[in-house]
Amino acid sequence: MARRQARVGYGVPTLLAVGLHVLVLLFSVISLPTREHEPSASSIVQATLVSTETVTDQAQRAEEARQRALARQAAEEAAAQEEQRQAAEEAATQEAQRQSDQAAEEQAREAARQAAEAEAVRRAEEAEAETRRLQQQRDAEAEAQREREAEAQRRREEEAAQQREAEEQARREEEAEAQRRREEEAARQREAEEQARREQEAEAQRRREEEAARQREAEEQARLAREQAEAEMQRLIEGADERVANAQQGQQAANDFIALVRRAVEQAWRIPPNISSGATAEISVRLGPSGELFVAEVSRSSGDSAFDRSAVQAVEAAAPFAELRQLPAGVQRDYRQFNLRFRPGDVR
């Protein structure tokens, strides 16, 4: 009975209320993006970019970069060769220097040897002179002994004999001494010669090793230079590729720039009255490096001179376009010329 159901709970109304709000939320989220996609039909100035940059230009530029890289590589190779040659010359001069040094050293060594020999000879002569002197003395003594024999014959004879004997012994000792000295001298000389020879050999060995090391170093340097040159060339080629990619990025930056220009021109445009909505004029715009206006001329007339004039005046009023300076430096040059298409559309 209806009377039994008269009390209404809160469950169903709560569900309904929450559902309603969720629905409203969904509408606000979903309907907005769809509205966003609608193009701004009120855009009255359509700017089209006349890019001076073409794909073939890009390819050509890349090719140029590659050639430049090759030329640079050749130059670097020549430089490396030059360097190598210089290194060789330097090595040669060093070698000559070293040889002269060596000769001088040998001379010195020779002189030392000769000096040693002379010394030995002198010593031998000295020893001989000594013996000679002793002989003379002995003779003189024998004479004196003979003279004194009369005075003290036997004793003196004995003494003389003793003395002779002593002298003989001294002489023998002297001779042995001289002999030993000579032998020692010869041994020393031999030893010195041996050492000099060893030193010479070691020196030659060291020189050879040094020479080899220098040679290796020079080769290494040449190889490094070659590798560097190759890497340089690779980088240059990559740079060319990057420039092609940059051109595409620049395209987007230019689109932003063009949008700015279009907005500025739209705001500055006073459309003359009584213009048919189909009228379209194209204005060719050329800008200076800092965005100042060089030329704005009608490239395609709408047929109505007042309309064309208003379009040119709009561009002149909107200039200068300082935003050009915000473009990447590489693409500024390419976007200093563009076309603007004016059509009144349905906006008056």
Partner 1 sequence: MNDAMSIPHLIMNASTVVQLVMLLLTVGSILSWVVIFQRTFMMRRARKAHRGFEDRFWSGVDLNELYREVPPEQETQGAEHIFRAGFREFNRLMPKTRSPQAILDGVQRSMRVAWSREEERLNLHLVFLATVASASPYIGLFGTVWGIMGSFQSLSMAQQATLSTVAPWIAEALIATAMGLFAAIPAVVFYNRLSAESGRLLGKYEDFAEEFHSILHRNLQGRSDAGGA
Is 218 within 8 Å of 73 (Cβ atoms)? no
Closest distance of CB 8 from partner 1, Å: 4
Q: Which two tokens stand for residue 305?
A: 């001179």
Query: Which range in 28-36, 83-91, 181-189, 255-263 contacts partner 1 by CB under 8 A?
Result: 28-36
Is 243 within 8 Å of 62 (Cβ atoms)? yes
Query: Which range in 26-34, 71-79, 199-207, 332-340 contacts partner 1 by CB under 8 A?
Result: 26-34
29 binds partner 1 (CB under 8 A): yes
| DSSP-assigned beta bridge partners for residue 285 | 296, 338
- Positions 101 through 130 that interact with partner 1 (CB under 8 A): none
34 binds partner 1 (CB under 8 A): no
151 binds partner 1 (CB under 8 A): no
Closest distance of CB 292 from partner 1, Å: 22
Query: Which range in 19-27, 114-122, 155-163, 271-279 contacts partner 1 by CB under 8 A?
Result: 19-27
Q: Which two tokens stand for residue 15?
A: 């569900």
> Position 341: which residue type?
R
8 binds partner 1 (CB under 8 A): yes
Using CA atoms, how far apart are residues 197 and 200, in angstroms rounded to an integer?
5
In the complex with partner 1, which residue's Cβ is closer, 18 or 142?
18
CA 287 → CA 324, 327, 331, distances in Å? 9, 13, 13
In the complex with partner 1, which residue's Cβ is closer, 23 or 115?
23
Residues sharing a CB contact under 8 Å with residue 298, sequence separation 6 or more, in sequence order: 281, 282, 283, 284, 308, 311, 312
14 binds partner 1 (CB under 8 A): yes
Closest distance of CB 28 from partner 1, Å: 5
Could you give the dihedral angle defined by the CA atoms of residues 33, 35, 37 and 42, in that order, rounded to the nearest 10 degrees? -150
In the complex with partner 1, which residue's Cβ is closer, 18 or 104?
18
273 binds partner 1 (CB under 8 A): no
In the chain, alpha helices (H): 11-36, 55-148, 153-268, 305-318, 329-332
Query: Which range in 29-37, 60-68, 129-137, 328-336 contacts partner 1 by CB under 8 A?
Result: 29-37
- Positions 35 through 54 that interact with partner 1 (CB under 8 A): 35-36
Closest distance of CB 257 from partner 1, Å: 17
DSSP code, position 343: -
β 281-287/293-300 pair status: antiparallel
Closest distance of CB 34 from partner 1, Å: 11
In the complex with partner 1, which residue's Cβ is closer, 27 or 294?
27
CA 159 → CA 154, 170, 345, distances in Å? 8, 16, 159
Closest distance of CB 3 from partner 1, Å: 6
Helix, strand or coil for residue 322? Answer: helix
| DSSP-assigned beta bridge partners for residue 295 | 286
Binding site for partner 1 (CB under 8 A): 2-3, 5-10, 12-14, 16-18, 20-21, 24, 28-29, 32-33, 35-36
